[in-house]
Amino acid sequence: HGPVLALLLAQPLCIASYSSYCPATLNFPQLCNHARDCSPANWPVRQPDRLQVLGVISDEHGIDPTGTYHGDSDLQLERINVYYNEASGGKYVPRAVLIDLEPGTMDSVRAGPFGQLFRPDNFVFGQSGAGNNWAKGHYTEGAELVDSVLDVVRKESESCDCLQGFQLTHSLGGGTGSGMGTLLISKIREEYPDRIMNTFSVVPSPKVSDTVVEPYNATLSVHQLVENTDETFCIDNEALYDICFRTLKLTTPTYGDLNHLVSATMSGVTTCLRFPGQLNADLRKLAVNMMAVTFIGNSTAIQELFKRVSEQFTAMFRRKAFLHWYTGEGMDEMEFTEAESNMNDLVSEYQQYQDATAEDEGELGEEEALE
């Protein structure tokens, strides 16, 4: 049950899209004598909840903000190497890389309660930011920083006994998480083609929105995720908002409330990697059991999320709104046309399976009626 490497990307790259951006993180799960996963325990979220997920996972393993174990069960340490490296003095350090195109988020993480938990060398950041521009993250600013990130990724990967794969936490609404996040995924896929790539991707929503160009950034990212990842968990800000509003009866949900839901979800999804059990003991088994034979492995209802983003994309692209920010960074309008087409193909594929299921149910109902 090898180690996992966790990559946290910043700017609306983290847990929930934030107006003040959070760093992105890459986790490297690894398989070794004991389970060693790239630690997704490093997902800064936003003040003061930036490291809410890390707090939940560290707490489950009995690790305090200084990296010291204070637990009361051997189970907490049995597979701790999946997400943490053991350093000198009995300290546990998350196997995570935190990435952003601006330094501010890193400073706030370092100043936060879990700031001393990370390896200082694993903070990789630029100076300019991506300005919520996918093209800057993917082609210009992000492309300049990605080699530095890959150096740190290699270093962490080579220290693993048997690397399981990577976990990337990012959002699709900003520039760094969407643009640089997808660039990083493709680079890692080239270098580690046989390792699992797993992402937790926050999908933007008008109800919880920072920026008008979020549909552009999300649509440009989705095709990259379909091509280059093995598992993508879509975290829908609108669904989170509705849960807070309708189920939890919160009249004005905050980012902290959304983060609380996300941290519980991410912690639950990775429990099978971090603790002994019979099922889904590593990222590959998790991927196999999460997905059907076809590439679609979840409810066809998820097409509604993609339809929503696609409609917002089309409404702006028809008017060529804000395109100059992207073409100014070297992009071509054809890339937008292709991204729109790819998104529509994705929705059509889900629709095809939904229609097929409805027909099967109809035939079954007719047979029962005849009997």
Q: What is the tens place of the pLDDT at every residue in 79-94?
A: 999 999 999 888 999 9
Contact residues for 152 (Cβ-Cβ < 8 A; gap 6+): 97, 121, 122, 124
Q: How far is CA 271 from CA 49, 97, 341, in A?
A: 21, 21, 37
> pLDDT exceeding 90 applies to what percent of the chain?
54
Q: Are 119 and 88 in contact (CB under 8 A)?
A: no
Neighbours of 291 (CB within 10 A): 14
Strand-pair partners of 25:
8, 98
* Better-scored residue on pLDDT, 284 or 297: 284
Q: Which domains does the chain have, with CATH numbers?
A: 5-18+47-300 (3.40.50.1440)
107: which 2 tokens?
Answer: 């400073």
160: which 2 tokens?
Answer: 């693993």
Q: How far is CA 275 from CA 32, 261, 293, in A?
A: 14, 21, 27
Q: How far apart are CA 225 and CA 153, in angstroms?
A: 19
Q: Taking residues 26-32, what's their average pLDDT?
A: 53
What's the chain's average pLDDT?
83
Q: Taking residues 32-59, what's their average pLDDT?
A: 50
E strands, 150-282, are: 165-171, 196-203, 231-236
Flag whether pLDDT at 210 surpasses 60: yes
Q: For 300-332, give the DSSP string.
A: GGGHHHHHHHHHHHHHHHTTTTTHHHHHTTT--
Flag whether pLDDT at 51 surpasses 90: no
CA dihedral defined by 51, 204, 221, 226, rounded to 10 degrees? 90
**Tens-place pLDDT, residues 118-163:** 999 999 999 999 999 999 999 999 999 999 999 999 999 999 988 9
Question: Environment class of residue 143 by beta-carbon count within 10 Å: exposed (0-12), middle (13-18) or buried (19+)?
Answer: middle
Q: How far apart are CA 98 and CA 43, in angstroms?
A: 8
Q: What is the pLDDT of residue 27?
A: 62
